[in-house]
């Protein structure tokens, strides 16, 4: 088979359906990645228009451009869109598009999950856009502090759009994060050990782990606040045992890591692009990886620096102030590693490099003002002024948008296979750069003069008029620059001529393929022994196309790739991917219907939609169940590998483990809230405790133990090929007992929810009940598979997945029962 025939055969197998059907049924990472990038850019433009409205309002004193009621919606939506609908999805899009190409594989771990995440994002974003067009957009500021966002002070549906719409979008972020983690750890080219991974993959891995740990506190906060708004559970109502500060803690537990979730991918782009522009390798690869990991760890220890003015004791503030200044160290290491790389090499002044220089100028200023506001006394003055607005734009625009524009112009030839010939991009850079600095340098100044953020008007005698006008005009200059970038890209896509394959002389694998890339990425999966395989072997691309490496022989119409050992990169198993499917969009629509039902308070929709969600999920799991071929498979180069689904820990197991990590963080946040209200919340203890019921406790604990034990037995039986019946029976009975015990406790807690304590008990038990139900449903599906028998008989890998979920459900049931039943004895 020659290279062309191989290309045709693989294209037939991997290509999406033509036309509109292709859009809704594609599961290919290149398609999904491009769709993510496109939609995120659209949201960036919407958010940018809102920003221009804000600057129009503030250009003159006593502005009557829009009324405060509308203005509040505008700035709330500007922040919300830029954070949740632009920055995070743009990272997801870049990672989804690039990672398999950088890692030398053919697709991400769960192609259908990528599509599901994308559609959740689109539907959630549409909800928020609809709210805005209808004049019902959230208006309490993007951090939604209660009681302002509680039903007493925000009676309309506006805040619900935020809580439910944003949570829906976060589902998509969690899905993408699980996918990115598993893909980077398991789906790489053979031989690519962790140490040889492209630096962007390290950054993406750290970022994805941060999403898994950082988003759950906000998801929990949103659930609690929505429960307060809809059903009067008073978590944030101080008179009833709650505390408004609980929201601030949960929000910033998410909100600060979020800043680094946004910055790290951008730093990954710089660490990739800058060395290529300097014609050398990155200085201190291991230092940079360590710095990224350190940044991730530290970022979870400094959320309180957003709360310096809330009356927390000074000793507590000292700790968080120290942690906040400490993050400047790993940031500094990266900055100096990049500067050192430039010194080491022979830097060129190309368009991507221009944007990176723009990044250096702005981000260093943002970092320095960041250190300033990390110093407690200064923050007491600067907090909630335009100084902070200016600081955060220097960090986010300087630290994210500039690098992403550098990345855009760097990878554009890879995505389109064309080369630029107009110099619009350079002009646009200068407009954006000068406009940005004009707009936001001025804002530091006016903030120090006392201008608060989020004001809709200011008096003439404040002396801020000229500065604000200058800032507004500069921001419009910047907007023109952004419009020119969009125009440049459009021209590029329509008119530009074909370019060469590796125009920058880069060394990573995404340039070792024809451009624009084919749906299957690599005609054969290369063997990697170097951080820059393409630099070492210029013939690599041709060898890949000639099928000299793994899986060079397409067969059976199946989408195949390899998994590797996470650390060493030794090939481990053959993976067969699912093909095009409309299941993801259907599941996203059903999930969206459940959210929408809760949003418009038509609660009868929710259970119906959830039934669809369960049904579609089971179907999803089903269609993956059977392997195509029995036994060991020849994957080329005389290598025999088992299929991933026949191994003990299939990709599904890894995905479950990462998803449960996020789930456990949510559960941990719930305990944090419980402990916080107990120790810090005013008006504690509650008037009435949940009394101890020995029956519920004993039934629940025995049931949880039985469920876990039953699956332990079943998993052992499955690995020996013995009958699963005994284990499954015990597990199912155990789950039933747990569900009964939890339901009884829930009924009693349900009578106490007019006080924060009882409401917390209720949520804790409800959480355990949901997980017990998930475990029971999954066990039942194993029972069904066993009943059908034959080839459908459950594989060890499937039993292991159910076992993982059941163990977690048992742990949650036991801990939540103990925490609630004994609470009256803890006083």
Partner 1 sequence: MDPAGPAAARIATLWWTMLAGSAAIFALVMLLLLIAYRRTPAPHQSERRQERFWLYGLGLAFPLVTLAALLIYGLVLGETLLPKSGEKVVTVRAEARQWSWSFGYADAAGRRTQGVLHIPAGRPVNVEITSLDVVHSFWAPRLAGKLDAIPGQVNVLRIEAAAPGEYHGVGAEFSGPGYSGDAFTVIAHDAAGWDAFLGRAKE
- The rounded distance, in Å, linking the Cα atoms of 656 and 113 is 12
Pick the closer one to partner 1 by CB: 379 or 572. 379
Residues from 491 through 530 that contact partner 1 (CB under 8 A): none
State the first-to-last Cα distance of the chain, in angstroms, to the nearest integer.
76
Among 61, 232, 301, 340, binds partner 1 (CB under 8 A): 340
Residues from 295 through 314 that contact partner 1 (CB under 8 A): 309-311, 314
Cβ neighbours for 355, distance < 8 A, ≥ 6 positions apart? 402, 403, 405, 406, 409, 429
Cβ neighbours for 555, distance < 8 A, ≥ 6 positions apart? none
Binding-site size for partner 1 (CB under 8 A) equals 79
Residues from 227 through 266 that contact partner 1 (CB under 8 A): 238-239, 243-245
Among 172, 369, 474, 561, binds partner 1 (CB under 8 A): 369
Rounded to the nearest whole angstrom, what is the least distance from the CB of residue 353 to partner 1 in the complex? 10
Pick the closer one to partner 1 by CB: 209 or 353. 353
Among 1, 9, 441, 448, binds partner 1 (CB under 8 A): 448
Angle between helical axes of 424-448 and 386-396 (0-180°, round to 10): 150
Residues from 742 through 781 that contact partner 1 (CB under 8 A): none
Among 189, 208, 267, 335, binds partner 1 (CB under 8 A): 335
65 part of the interface to partner 1, by CB under 8 A:
no
The pair phi, psi for residue 152, each rounded to 5°, is -65, -35
Helix locations, 187-198, DSSP H: none
Pick the closer one to partner 1 by CB: 142 or 187. 142
DSSP codes joined into one string, 480-537: HHHHHHHHHHHHHHHHPEE--S-TT---SGGGSS-SSPPTTS-SSB----SSSHHHH-
Among 31, 92, 379, 510, binds partner 1 (CB under 8 A): 379
Count of helices and strands (H, E) across the chain = 27, 6
Rounded to the nearest whole angstrom, what is the least distance from the CB of residue 668 to partner 1 in the complex? 25
Rounded to the nearest whole angstrom, what is the least distance from the CB of residue 241 to partner 1 in the complex? 10
434 part of the interface to partner 1, by CB under 8 A:
no
Contact 47, 86 (CB under 8 A): yes
Among 1, 375, 553, 606, binds partner 1 (CB under 8 A): 375
Whether the bond into 444 is cis, omega within 30 of 0: no
Range in contact with partner 1 (rule: CB under 8 A) among 143-151, 627-635, 799-807, 815-823: 143-151
Pick the closer one to partner 1 by CB: 389 or 735. 389
Residues from 593 through 612 that contact partner 1 (CB under 8 A): none
Residues from 312 through 331 that contact partner 1 (CB under 8 A): 314, 317-318, 321-322, 325-326, 328-329
Among 157, 357, 535, 605, binds partner 1 (CB under 8 A): 357
Among 141, 578, 621, 685, binds partner 1 (CB under 8 A): 141
Distances in Å between the Cα of 3 and the Cα atoms of 246, 477, 552 are 61, 50, 10
Cβ neighbours for 684, distance < 8 A, ≥ 6 positions apart? 241, 677, 678, 757
Among 231, 380, 422, 430, binds partner 1 (CB under 8 A): 380
Rounded to the nearest whole angstrom, what is the least distance from the CB of residue 615 to partner 1 in the complex? 43
Range in contact with partner 1 (rule: CB under 8 A) among 137-145, 194-202, 542-550, 730-738: 137-145
Rounded to the nearest whole angstrom, what is the least distance from the CB of residue 64 to partner 1 in the complex? 12
Query: SS3 of 570, please?
Result: coil
Range in contact with partner 1 (rule: CB under 8 A) among 371-379, 413-421, 706-714, 797-805: 371-379
Pick the closer one to partner 1 by CB: 308 or 620. 308
Angle between helical axes of 314-326 and 328-344 (0-180°, round to 10): 10
| Count of beta carbons in the 10 Å neighbourhood of residue 608 | 13
- The rounded distance, in Å, linking the Cα atoms of 446 and 462 is 10
Residues from 651 through 690 that contact partner 1 (CB under 8 A): 682-683
- The rounded distance, in Å, linking the Cα atoms of 472 and 62 is 15
Rounded to the nearest whole angstrom, what is the least distance from the CB of residue 472 to partner 1 in the complex? 17
- The rounded distance, in Å, linking the Cα atoms of 293 and 466 is 44
Pick the closer one to partner 1 by CB: 79 or 597. 79
> To 10 degrees, the CA torsion angle through 21, 25, 28, 31?
50
Residues from 449 through 488 that contact partner 1 (CB under 8 A): 449-450, 452-458
Pick the closer one to partner 1 by CB: 147 or 736. 147
- The rounded distance, in Å, linking the Cα atoms of 599 and 825 is 38
Rounded to the nearest whole angstrom, what is the least distance from the CB of residue 268 to partner 1 in the complex? 18
Rounded to the nearest whole angstrom, what is the least distance from the CB of residue 276 to partner 1 in the complex? 15
Pick the closer one to partner 1 by CB: 29 or 305. 305
Pick the closer one to partner 1 by CB: 361 or 473. 361
Strand extents, DSSP E, 364-435? 418-419
The tokens for 253 are: 């537990």
- The rounded distance, in Å, linking the Cα atoms of 557 and 547 is 17
The pair phi, psi for residue 562, each rounded to 5°, is -115, 150
Rounded to the nearest whole angstrom, what is the least distance from the CB of residue 354 to partner 1 in the complex? 12
Contact 237, 150 (CB under 8 A): yes
Whether the bond into 685 is cis, omega within 30 of 0: yes
Among 25, 26, 140, 414, binds partner 1 (CB under 8 A): 140
Rounded to the nearest whole angstrom, what is the least distance from the CB of residue 145 to partner 1 in the complex? 5
Contact 821, 768 (CB under 8 A): no
Rounded to the nearest whole angstrom, what is the least distance from the CB of residue 543 to partner 1 in the complex? 29
- The rounded distance, in Å, linking the Cα atoms of 335 and 333 is 6
The interface mask with partner 1, positions 44-63, x = CB under 8 A, is --------------------
Pick the closer one to partner 1 by CB: 336 or 811. 336
364 part of the interface to partner 1, by CB under 8 A:
yes
Rounded to the nearest whole angstrom, what is the least distance from the CB of residue 334 to partner 1 in the complex? 8
378 part of the interface to partner 1, by CB under 8 A:
yes
What is the DSSP code (8-state) at residue 735? H
Rounded to the nearest whole angstrom, what is the least distance from the CB of residue 307 to partner 1 in the complex? 8
437 part of the interface to partner 1, by CB under 8 A:
no
Please list the helix, strand and coil fractions of the chain in percent, rounded to the nearest 5, in that order.
Answer: 70, 5, 25
Rounded to the nearest whole angstrom, what is the least distance from the CB of residue 449 to partner 1 in the complex? 6
Pick the closer one to partner 1 by CB: 381 or 542. 381
Contact 477, 438 (CB under 8 A): yes
Query: To which H or E segment does residue 644 belong?
Result: none
Among 1, 45, 194, 371, binds partner 1 (CB under 8 A): 371
The tokens for 761 are: 């008990």
Rounded to the nearest whole angstrom, what is the least distance from the CB of residue 369 to partner 1 in the complex? 7
Buried b (16+ CB within 10 A) or exposed e, 28-60: bbbbbbbbbbebbbebbebbbebbbbbbbbbbb
The pair phi, psi for residue 201, each rounded to 5°, is -65, -40
Rounded to the nearest whole angstrom, what is the least distance from the CB of residue 685 to partner 1 in the complex? 15
Strand 640-641 to 418-419 pairing: unpaired
Range in contact with partner 1 (rule: CB under 8 A) among 446-454, 565-573, 657-665, 780-788: 446-454
DSSP codes joined into one string, 660-720: HHHHHHHHHHHHHHHHHHHHT-SS-S-SSPPPP-HHHHHHHHHHHHHHHHHHHHHHHHHHH
Among 130, 231, 297, 343, binds partner 1 (CB under 8 A): 343
């Amino acid at each position: 088979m020659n290279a062309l025939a191989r290309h045709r055969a693989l294209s037939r197998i991997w290509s999406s359906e033509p036309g509109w059907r292709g859009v809704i049924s594609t599961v290919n990472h290149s398609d999904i990645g491009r769709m993510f990038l496109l939609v995120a850019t659209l949201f960036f433009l919407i958010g940018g228009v809102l920003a221009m409205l804000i600057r129009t309002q503030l250009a003159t004193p006593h502005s009557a451009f829009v009324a405060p009621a509308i203005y509040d919606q505008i700035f709330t939506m500007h922040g919300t869109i830029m954070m949740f609908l632009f920055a995070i999805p743009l990272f997801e899009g870049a990672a989804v598009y690039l990672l398999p190409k950088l890692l030398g594989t053919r697709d991400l771990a769960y192609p259908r999950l990528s599509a599901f995440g994308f559609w959740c994002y689109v539907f959630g974003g549409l909800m928020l856009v609809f709210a805005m067009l209808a004049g019902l957009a959230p208006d309490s500021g993007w951090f939604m502090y209660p009681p302002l966002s509680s039903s007493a002070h925000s009676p309309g549906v506006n805040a619900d759009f935020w809580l439910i719409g944003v949570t829906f979008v976060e589902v998509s972020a969690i899905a993408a994060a699980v996918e990115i983690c598993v893909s980077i750890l398991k789906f790489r080219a053979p031989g690519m050990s962790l140490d040889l991974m492209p630096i962007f993959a390290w950054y993406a891995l750290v970022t994805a782990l941060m999403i898994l740990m950082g988003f759950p506190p906000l998801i929990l906060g949103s659930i609690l606040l929505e429960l307060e708004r809809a059903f009067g559970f008073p978590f944030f109502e101080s008179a009833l045992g709650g505390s408004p500060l609980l929201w601030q803690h949960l929000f910033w537990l998410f909100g600060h890591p979020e800043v680094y979730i946004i910055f790290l991918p951008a730093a990954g782009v710089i660490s990739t692009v800058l060395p290529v522009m300097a014609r050398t390798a990155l200085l201190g690869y291991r230092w940079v990886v360590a710095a990224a990991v350190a940044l991730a760890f530290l970022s979870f220890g400094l959320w309180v620096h957003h709360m310096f003015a809330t009356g927390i004791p000074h000793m507590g503030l000292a700790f968080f102030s120290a942690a906040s200044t400490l993050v400047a160290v790993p940031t500094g290491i990266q900055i100096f590693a990049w500067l050192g790389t430039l010194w080491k090499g022979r830097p060129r002044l190309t368009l991507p490099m221009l944007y990176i220089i723009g990044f250096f100028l702005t981000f260093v200023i943002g970092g320095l003002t960041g250190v300033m506001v990390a110093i407690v006394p200064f923050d007491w003055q600067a907090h909630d002024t335009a100084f902070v607005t200016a600081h955060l734009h220097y960090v986010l625009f300087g630290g994210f948008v500039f690098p992403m524009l550098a990345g855009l112009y760097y990878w554009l030839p890879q995505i389109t296979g064309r080369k630029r010939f107009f110099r619009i991009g350079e002009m646009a850079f200068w407009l954006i750069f000068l406009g940005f600095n004009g707009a936001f340098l001025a804002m530091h100044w006016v903030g120090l003069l006392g201008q608060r953020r989020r004001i809709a008007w200011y008096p003439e005698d404040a002396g801020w008029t000229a500065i604000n006008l200058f800032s507004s005009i500069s921001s419009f200059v910047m907007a023109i620059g952004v419009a020119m970038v969009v125009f440049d890209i459009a021209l590029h896509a329509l008119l530009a001529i074909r370019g060469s394959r590796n125009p920058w002389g880069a060394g990573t694998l995404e340039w070792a393929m024809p451009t624009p890339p084919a749906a299957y990425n690599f005609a054969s999966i290369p063997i990697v022994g170097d951080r820059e395989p393409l630099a070492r072997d210029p013939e690599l691309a041709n060898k890949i196309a000639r099928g000299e490496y793994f899986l060079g022989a397409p067969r059976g119409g199946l989408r195949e790739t390899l998994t590797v050992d996470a650390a060493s990169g030794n090939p481990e198993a053959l993976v067969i991917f699912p093909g095009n499917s409309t299941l993801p969009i259907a599941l996203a629509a059903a999930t969206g219907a459940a959210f929408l039902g809760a949003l418009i308070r038509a609660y009868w929709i929710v259970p119906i939609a959830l039934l669809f969600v369960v049904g579609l999920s089971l179907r999803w799991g089903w269609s993956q169940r059977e392997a195509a071929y029995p036994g060991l498979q020849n994957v080329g180069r005389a290598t025999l590998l088992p299929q991933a689904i026949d191994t003990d820990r299939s990709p599904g197991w890894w995905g479950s483990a990462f998803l449960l990590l996020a789930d456990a963080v949510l559960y941990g946040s719930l305990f944090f809230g419980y402990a916080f209200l107990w120790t810090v919340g005013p008006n504690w203890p509650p008037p009435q405790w949940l009394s101890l019921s020995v029956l519920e406790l004993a039934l629940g604990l025995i049931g949880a133990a039985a469920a876990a034990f039953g699956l332990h037995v079943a998993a052992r039986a499955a690995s020996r090929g013995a009958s699963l019946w005994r284990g499954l029976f015990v597990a199912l009975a155990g789950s039933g007992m747990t569900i009964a015990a939890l339901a009884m406790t829930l009924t009693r807690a349900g009578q106490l929810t007019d006080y924060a304590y009882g409401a917390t008990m209720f949520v804790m038990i409800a959480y355990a009940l949901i997980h017990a139900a998930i475990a029971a449903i999954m066990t039942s599906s194993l029972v069904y598979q066993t009943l059908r028998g034959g080839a459908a008989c459950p594989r060890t890998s499937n039993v292991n997945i159910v076992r993982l979920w059941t163990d977690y459900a048992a742990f949650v049931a036991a801990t939540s029962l103990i925490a609630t039943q004994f609470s009256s004895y803890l006083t």
